Amino acid sequence: MRNSKLIVSPAVAVSAIVGVGAASAADLPVYTKAPPIVAPVYDWSGGYIGIEGGGGWGHSDQTDVRRTVADGHFSVSGGLFGGTLGYNWQTGPWVFGLEGDYSWSDISGQSNICGFGPPHPCGTKLESLGTFRGRIGHTVGAMGSWLLYGTGGLAVGDVHGWDSLFPASGSAFRAGWTVGAGVETSFAPHWTAKLEYLYVDLGKSHLFDVVPGVPETVSFRANIVRVGVNYSFSGPVVAKY
């Protein structure tokens, strides 16, 4: 018997290999591109309203026009409580804002040895304090929910001064300046808490005549430390891809 040979054409061989490869590929698992990682980030943009309170300490001088040095020279201290209204704009980690506040105040002091005539008491009291300030801050933390900021701008206050010699007293609503810094953080959706320091200088001006025809100027400077709670009207968290 003759030996027979199986002859396979090149076309048939290629078809067989392709078929086997296709079948093997069908058995492999299918991999898809993973979705992007979403990281929640606190959004500081938008308006807010809040309350704040704290205390202050500083210094006041009372000087009549005939003297080159103060005849009343004393420390002041006390508390204050009020409300806040503001708005923030955020660009990346930077936050820019405007903030206004107004507080009832009882920051006062006196001396028992004021110098015009025989030694006698005189004193000063800050009865209210308001500020209108710019804020520049930078967010920190994994979610950017901490804000470190500097602030400064206009300060206004109702300053009252008195002298018991005859007696005499007077008040004026005065304008000055303020500068400071603070830290603010989110503790719940839409809610933040802050700790803030301000240096306030309301200058000096004539408040009353210690005797008729003798004007008395009164200065006021103070360090203010206060805490506050704010409610934000914007969404507290945005998704970052």
**Model pLDDT, residue 235:** 61
**Model pLDDT, residue 27:** 55
The neighbouring-strand residues paired with 130 are 102, 156
Over range 124-133, report the average pLDDT: 98
Q: How far is CA 5 from each of CA 2, 8, 13, 15, 221, rounded to the nearest angstrom? A: 10, 10, 16, 21, 112
Q: Which is higher by pLDDT, 71 or 96?
A: 96
Q: Which is higher by pLDDT, 31 or 71?
A: 71
Longest dimension (CA), the chain: 150
**Model pLDDT, residue 25:** 47
pLDDT interval class at 198 (50, 70, 90): very high
Q: Confirm or reject CATH 3.90.180.10 for domain 39-240, answering yes or no.
A: no
Is the pLDDT at 7 greater than 70? The verdict is no
**What is the rounded distance in angstroms from the CA atom of residue 114 to the CA atom of residue 74?**
9
Is the pLDDT at 207 greater than 50? The verdict is yes
Over range 224-228, report the average pLDDT: 98
